[in-house]
Structure 1
Amino acid sequence: MKNFALIGAAGYIAPRHMKAIKETGNHLQVAYDINDSVGIIDSISPDSEFFTQFEVFSNYCHNLKRNTEKKIDIVSVCSPNFLHYPHIASGLRMGADVICEKPLVPTEAILDELIAIEQETGHKVYNILQLRHHEAILKLKEQIANDSRSEKYDIELTYITSRGKWYLESWKGDLNKSFGIATNIGVHFFDMLHFIFGDLVESEVYYTAETKAGGYLEYDKARVRWFLSIDANDLPESVKGKQPTYRSINIEGKEIEFSGGFTDLHTVSYQEILAGRGYGLEDARFSVKTVEHIRHAQDKVTDESRLHPNVKQLLAERT
């Protein structure tokens, strides 16, 4: 049994990590968040310590190193995006491995710094890349790998996850903290495309706004028109009023809808990490590099055939 510390216990994604820790037969030793709305802990690990000051939390974890039974083996990081790097670094330096939510870090330079800290401490960082464990994605990867065609696939990726007005008022609406829509909600999907279709050849961005973004990515085996949104008005008519989220990959007219099957993917990710098959820093490099480019790219249409239908409509409305 491993002892876990969790940073960001009051966040949206933290309950999935707590559930994964419990379901893999491990123990949540201590949790931290500046907010104290963490009652969910009672149903998962009621004897866990909890702190609202990071210095007190960090000191507690460091002191546990003297106790071989209670020392922290793994730190799970679920804090806001801009805090991932310092929290990962702290976890490594307290003598633990680290599991971190997406997006891992905003730039390749910071990724390289974490690699250096791994080497200094002898501990590892793992990224939650749960789409690599999704059954529909694994089937698609196998299908593409076994296809002998030489032509690239033409693909439309659409991800719409409805969020209320709170989103833009929270840290997620601050570009300096969330790094924008494409980074915050898109990084898993860009990793998934790389996982299935190979290395990135070209990237263009055609539309960016607070609540949505779209562009074009070309891989070894695919040309991808992509669109991401947190605006419920962008949901297809077929799902409006029925479900708040829509995830779809359309491959040359054939849709692979994978909105379902996400419930237990964090637990699967934890199982793989604990079995020594987790995805580390180098596995995350591609998606970090992709979102870093998207954040700095200028909206410019070079070829209208590369426009996702939603992006084409948005650009038409602008004019």
Structure 2
Amino acid sequence: MSNLKVAIIGCGSIAQNRHLLEYEANEEVDIVAVCDIVEERAMVTAEAFGARAYTDYEDLFSKENVDAVSVCLPNYLHAPVSIAGLNAGAHVLCEKPMATSREEANEMIEAAERNGKKLMIAHNQRFVSSHEKARKLIESGDLGKVYSFRTTFGHGGPEGWSAEGEDSWFFKKDQAFIGAMGDLGVHKADLLRHVLGEEFVDVAGFIENNAKEGITVDDNAVCILRSESGVVGTLTASWAYNPQEDNSTVIYGEKGMLRLEDDSTYSLIAQYANGDTVNYELGQIQSNDEGGQTNTGVIDHFVECIVQDKKPLIDGEEGKRSLEVILAAIESGETRKITQLEK
């Protein structure tokens, strides 16, 4: 079988630091085309990776016969471009959050089904070793009944990471639709659903813009979540954690607690009520602080699912459920009421 022909649409930071490098490192892939509305960025990226450059994704789809596409664009473009890619006969890996509404997410899922193509959402936290180990420990009953959790994802903000810096689309409501909650909080909503192995039913959201001036989206958010079995906890997302990133999760259960990415040496620490402590050295989580050039596992999983015709771990339905937690948090923040998630 010949290599998969892949196109990357959007050549900003997430494409440069994750998608392009990980596709290039995968021996079953050829990067054939890249697209960006900034022509120079498209040209420079195309030259670096031996691909053809485009400034219009529709032009790319009409001229290139690609097997798979990564959509690395501002949030408001995720749904239309993903749907265009699926309709063009390509499998699609879309950055998070998958869409700006439940309706858009459903349209993406329908397009994937109609065209018989795979749709995957790039929630990389599921592939982190400590998170996967924690999921297995909880699933095996190692922690007993889970009672509560706290999870957080915060850093100084996308201006230090995004290709446009302080002029980034991340800060513009018409392009991002949501701020830190969509950028970081949705990752944690997806992680908790995966690790706990159950869905959330109630969400209370406190969504603020209290740190950065001149932006039209949230930069600090705190949510209280309740799962279907009654596990309660907090999810926080922030673009104002200075000077360093916090990407930790702590889960409390009947027999002990798990500390994930909460210690500089051990990525998972299990502390038990009987006095035992187990420290796991499992490799560090992806970080935007240190360049973060280690492999996320997202692209390799996407490619493997295409080659072996497997269902992606985070397909459209999974991506939608994680998005719905964030949408519920926004609704709660606006209504000042607890939002119930649809079953």
Q: Which of 245, 261, 267 is the aligned partner of 2:285?
A: 261
Give the whole-Å Cα distance in 2 for the aligned partners of 1:114 and 1:292: 17
Q: Kindly report the root-mean-square deviation, in angstroms, between the aligned alpha carbons of the 2 structures.
A: 2.5
**Cross-structure match for 1:247:** 247
Q: Which of 305, 328, 331 is the aligned partner of 1:273?
A: 305
Contact 2:188 2:235 in 1 (8 A): no
Contact 2:75 2:99 in 1 (8 A): yes
Residue pairs, 1:21-100, within 5 angstroms: 21-25=23-27, 26-35=29-38, 36-38=40-42, 39-43=44-48, 45-46=49-50, 48-61=51-64, 71-100=65-94
SS in 2 for 1:37: helix
SS in 1 for 2:246: strand
Give the whole-Å Cα distance in 1 for the aligned partners of 2:337 and 2:103: 29
Q: Tell me which protein shows more helix as a share of its residues.
A: 1
**Deviation, structure 1 residue 2:** 0.3
**Cross-structure match for 1:7:** 9
SS in 2 for 1:29: strand
| Letter in structure 2 aligned against 1:95 | G
Give the whole-Å Cα distance in 1 for the aligned partners of 2:175 and 2:153: 21
When the two structures are superposed, what TM-score results if normalisation uses the length of structure 2?
A: 0.74
**Deviation, structure 1 residue 300:** 8.1
Give the whole-Å Cα distance in 2 for the aligned partners of 1:130 and 1:221: 26
Alignment deviations for residues 15-71 of structure 1 (CA, whole Å, 9 cap, x no partner) = 21112222222111111100122534444x22x10012334323322xxxxxxxxx2
| Letter in structure 1 aligned against 2:241 | A
Contact 2:33 2:46 in 1 (8 A): no
| Letter in structure 2 aligned against 1:143 | L
Gaps of 5+ in 2: 210-217, 268-283, 287-293, 339-343
* Pair 250,55 (structure 1): closer, same or farther in 2 beyond 3 Å: closer
* Pair 168,186 (structure 1): closer, same or farther in 2 beyond 3 Å: farther
Q: Does 1:195 align with 2:194?
A: yes
- How many residues are aligned here? 282
Stretch moving more, 126-135 or 252-261 = 252-261
**Deviation, structure 1 residue 207:** 3.9
**Deviation, structure 1 residue 249:** 0.9
**Cross-structure match for 1:178:** 176
Contact 1:124 1:280 in 2 (8 A): yes
**Cross-structure match for 1:313:** none
**Deviation, structure 1 residue 82:** 0.4
* Pair 203,54 (structure 1): closer, same or farther in 2 beyond 3 Å: same
**Cross-structure match for 1:213:** 221
When the two structures are superposed, what TM-score results if normalisation uses the length of structure 1?
A: 0.80
Gaps of 5+ in 1: 62-70, 234-239, 304-319
Contact 2:34 2:45 in 1 (8 A): no
Alignment deviations for residues 197-223 of structure 1 (CA, whole Å, 9 cap, x no partner) = 211132101342231111201123631
Give the whole-Å Cα distance in 2 for the aligned partners of 1:14 and 1:187: 19
**Deviation, structure 1 residue 84:** 0.6
* Pair 60,301 (structure 1): closer, same or farther in 2 beyond 3 Å: closer
Give the whole-Å Cα distance in 1 for the aligned partners of 2:230 and 2:126: 18
* Pair 226,120 (structure 1): closer, same or farther in 2 beyond 3 Å: closer
